[in-house]
Amino acid sequence: MSLPPVLQKKYLDRFDELICTGETIEKNIKTIHGRRFSSFVQPDRVRHEPDKHVVNWSDFIQWQTNCLSLLSQIIPVGHAHKKSLDVFGKLTNKLDNLQWGMSTLKALKEDFEKGLL
């Protein structure tokens, strides 16, 4: 069953908006550079803390909620992608979670465009 063209366009436009929003969130990530330090006990041994990437919590939650709203409307009950929807809802505001969400959103948009949902 295909959607009326107006509804199809509405969903595709929403995908584009959410992808753009996710990209904006990613661009606005603040990086706190890790520090290097040596131990008093072993001064020759230098350790390095990794960088921390801070994703704006409220922007992430709003984006995540909007994505879940869209995806719950277009993914049919019992479809294999429903599992992705469950994972999407459990994401936290970490860089790798944002990147996973963006990749998933883009893949689902592609499947939607090709009529695979």
Q: Determine the 3-state secondary structure of 3 from DSSP.
A: coil
| Lowest-confidence region among 43-47, 48-52, 65-69, 107-111 | 43-47
**Nearest 10 degrees: Cα torsion 86, 88, 93, 98:** 160
Q: pLDDT tens, 13-55? A: 999 999 999 999 999 999 999 887 776 677 777 778 888 999 9
Average pLDDT over residues 1-22: 94
Going 96 to 67 to 6 to 81, the CA torsion angle's sign is: positive
Q: 34 or 72: whose pLDDT is higher?
A: 72
pLDDT at position 113: 95
Confidence of residue 1 (pLDDT cuts 50, 70, 90): low
Q: 46 or 98: whose pLDDT is higher?
A: 98
What does the chain come to in residues? 117
Average pLDDT over residues 62-84: 94
